A and B are shown apart, each in its own frame.
Chain A
């Protein structure tokens, strides 16, 4: 029917921007998640650079103290909630349906809702910057640290709306993450293609599933605590108000009940990427698949019971300290199992040193370092010495940058051809890798020393007589290298979009289902839904003489 209305509707449908705005396609939402994550990554990275410039020399007055507080708060909050979480959600969105061989996520509209509410939450957080100080509500970015300890967040100590922005925007992004988590769980359980039993799922899917479970269990407590905080601030409730008999420590408990599992929510997708990339570039199936799955589930359970290791210096009973120290140390076991499995996969393999593999190998070394400092910090007396020092800063940057960010880079180099149909430049990629490794270890490696020398985190400036000058300078110079590497990376992404080598459906000679369809995949993913008989369906297809299912 060619009514004027339907013609108009067609015109609207053809407009490309609107098509993206209104999409419920999991691949587009995935790309949108990753792009907004990378955008916030650049913003939060600029803040990090400003922090390092301020700390490069003693007695610096580059940033005013209150601006410095806003910088580290917004840097931390953004990196966790607006960079880590959306990029993870984006990877899961793009890859999980392809990997389990289905056409879309189980709840596509909920998926779109999740993305938009995340983006709205992110914008709300940054909205707090707009306008000058003094304007009602605006010009007052959060400045209480990313874990917003009570009683600093009470009305008496945080006037204006800094904390309100922090809580409201994180509740919103939390809802978005919960929508994604539910979607992943339902997709993996209910939409697997024929023959894709739970123990034939790619490890990436397994670990995203475990991450989704962790989100479902850990994010609502954060929202609950933030609702209580807002009740305190707006309605005069007394949850965290010591003047009314409330407890400031219970905020720490509630926050870390979320906050510790959050670390595993962020790192498990890193494991997921490594578990896909390392086998493909070693030309060997993953070593110990069932053990990997079991270790992931173990990490999930243990991580829910370790939160108070962030609170050893609060003054808990020694029974509690021992319990949380022990449970924290236990996590080293499944994590160690994983590292040995990755090494076992590489052992005797035909390793190709392509950029994704390089990033995964960098990840192995740096994540090992972060694990070892983690074990050190789990020892209570050691933690009493170095809690809230730069040693802790170094530790968690090794986890989140050396662990998560390196694998995110690996993932982007590995799956970029699938998303865009073109390869990223290997030459620039390798430059990116080496410069970033150098810069990263320069910046954060020496912070271990700074911590041992007694430099507390979050200080705005320091005196010359502390012996911290040289190390701070080195640390700040490292940022320059990191910045150059990131610029190379962005250049690579943008230029390869046009000029990159055509990828074809399976440029890496990989084995999982996402490589079975064209690059970029059509909106319906697979012309005919696949059927699998083993963990490596594409291997079976390429080697009909010796398929995997004969050996399973």
Chain B
């Protein structure tokens, strides 16, 4: 009766399944990646196809400071995560707050950049460059803004002592999302400010 023995052995084993929020988040990230892909492809396809100026090399300056802010915020969010898991509330708030500030700086710098572009006569209906630039960079900025709301929510819950430090998952999911937004920025930066200009 070896078969029935293996069957009982199996029923005694622990039944482990992946965590639902994590799988759900991965789904969301895959969908968002698919969405971004089309915008990136459109941008790449239309590089140099504008019929009239202004052209990317006339206007675009690589947003070095903004990029440093956004990319380093991935590091601070990891530090915050570690502090959270150690239940070190003060350190968590510090690093989470810095993450938010870095993200907000990024958005502020984007706003300044857009203001400059608009003043230099580049709007969405000016030419193909404008048509593809604003939707792609804007889509990314929208994701940053959503991320900022989520970060702020956790931060407020934490300073008002409403954040349960036993539940790692919600905080972890937001940090996953934040990493995703950062990763997308690397693609957008490469496409818009490096490939697009040279």
Q: In the complex, which residues of chain B have a beta carbon less than 8 angstroms from the beta carbon of A247?
A: 45-46
Q: For B30, what are the chain A residues with a Cβ–Cβ distance below 8 Å?
A: 216-217
Q: Which of B15-23, B56-64, B184-192 forms contacts with chain A?
A: B15-23
Contact B38 A224 (CB under 8 A): yes
CB of A221 within 8 A of CB of B20, answer: no
B11 adjacent to A220 (CB under 8 Å): no
Contact residues, B107-149 vs A (CB, 8 A)? 124-125, 127-128, 130-132, 134-135
The docked-state distance in angstroms from the alpha carbon of A191 to that of B19 is 9
Whether the pair B50, A245 counts as a contact (CB closer than 8 A) is: yes
Within 8 Å by CB of B10, from A107, A195, A231, lies A195
A178 within 8 A of B: yes
Q: Which residues of A contact B19 (CB under 8 A)?
A: 190
The A/B interface has a contact count, at CB < 8 Å, of 112
A227, B135: Cβ atoms closer than 8 Å: yes
B162 beta carbon closer than 8 Å to chain A: no
Q: In chain B between 32 and 88, which residues have their CB closer than 8 angstroms to a CB of chain A?
A: 32, 34-35, 37-39, 42, 45-46, 49-51
Chain A residue contacts of B34, Cβ below 8 A: 216-221, 224
Residue of A nearest to B26 (CB): A185
- Interface size of A by CB at 8 A reads 42
Contact B17 A235 (CB under 8 A): no
The B contact surface, by secondary structure, is helix
Supposing A189-B18, A235-B124 touch, asked if A246 and B131 sit within 8 A by C-beta, the answer is yes
Whether the pair A186, B20 counts as a contact (CB closer than 8 A) is yes
In the complex, A247 Cα to B47 Cα: how many Å?
12
Nearest CB of chain A from residue B59's CB, rounded to whole Å: 17
Closest to A232 in B: B131
- Chain B min CB distance to A134 (Å): 28
Is there a chain B Cβ closer than 8 Å to A225's Cβ?
yes
Q: Does B31 contact A (CB under 8 A)?
A: yes
Tell me which residues across on chain B come within 8 A of A186, comparing CB atoms.
20, 23-24, 27
Structural contact, B45 and A250, CB atoms closer than 8 A: yes
Complex alpha-carbon distance, A218 and B37, angstroms: 11
Interface residues of A in 207-241 (CB under 8 A from B): 216-221, 223-225, 227-228, 231-232, 235-239
In the assembly, what is the distance between CA of A227 and CA of B30, in Å?
Answer: 18
* Inter-subunit contact A236/B28 (CB<8 Å): no
Q: Are the C-beta atoms of A181 and B27 separated by less than 8 Å?
A: yes
Cα(A246)–Cα(B127), bound, Å: 9
User: Is A113 in the interface zone, CB < 8 Å from B?
Assistant: no
CB distance from A36 to the nearest CB of B (A): 24
Nearest CB of A to B184, in Å: 13
B3 within 8 A of A: yes
Query: Is A418 among interface residues, defined by CB-CB distance under 8 A?
Result: no
> In the bound complex, do residue A531 and residue B20 qualify as a contact, i.e. CB atoms below 8 Å apart?
no
Asked if A302 is at the interface (CB within 8 A of a chain B CB), the reply is no
Q: Which listed residue (A190, A232, A549) contacts B23, Cβ 8 A?
A: A190
CB distance B28 to A182 under 8 Å?
yes
Tell me the minimal C-beta distance from A208 to chain B in angstroms: 14
Give the complex CA separation of A190 and B169 in angstroms.
15
Chain A contacts of B7 at CB under 8 A? 533, 549
CB pair A533 B23 closer than 8 Å: no
A190 to B21, CA, bound (A): 9
Q: B20, A237: Cβ atoms under 8 Å?
A: no
Give the nearest-CB partner of A225 in chain B: B38
A164-214 with Cβ < 8 A to chain B: 178, 181-182, 185-186, 189-192, 194-195
Which chain A residues border B17 with CB–CB below 8 Å? Answer: 189-192
A227-269 residues at the B interface, CB under 8 angstroms: 227-228, 231-232, 235-239, 244-247, 250, 254, 257
Q: Nearest Cβ in chain A — how far from B182, in angstroms?
A: 20
Asked if A306 lies at the interface with its beta carbon under 8 angstroms from chain B, I say no
Q: Looking across the interface, which residue of chain A has its beta carbon closest to that of B27?
A: A182
26 contacts between A and B (CB under 8 A): A107-B20, A178-B31, A182-B27, A189-B17, A190-B18, A194-B11, A195-B15, A216-B34, A221-B34, A221-B37, A223-B35, A224-B38, A225-B38, A231-B124, A236-B124, A238-B128, A244-B51, A244-B127, A245-B46, A245-B49, A245-B127, A246-B46, A247-B45, A247-B46, A254-B42, A257-B38
Which B residues fall within an 8 A CB radius of A?
A: 3, 7, 10-11, 15, 17-20, 23-24, 27-28, 30-32, 34-35, 37-39, 42, 45-46, 49-51, 124-125, 127-128, 130-132, 134-135
* A-to-B contact residues, CB < 8 Å: 106-107, 178, 181-182, 185-186, 189-192, 194-195, 216-221, 223-225, 227-228, 231-232, 235-239, 244-247, 250, 254, 257, 531, 533, 549-550
Given A191-B20, A225-B38, A533-B7, 18 extra CB contacts under 8 A: A186-B20, A186-B24, A191-B17, A194-B11, A194-B15, A195-B11, A219-B34, A220-B35, A224-B39, A228-B135, A231-B131, A237-B124, A237-B134, A238-B125, A238-B131, A247-B45, A250-B42, A250-B45
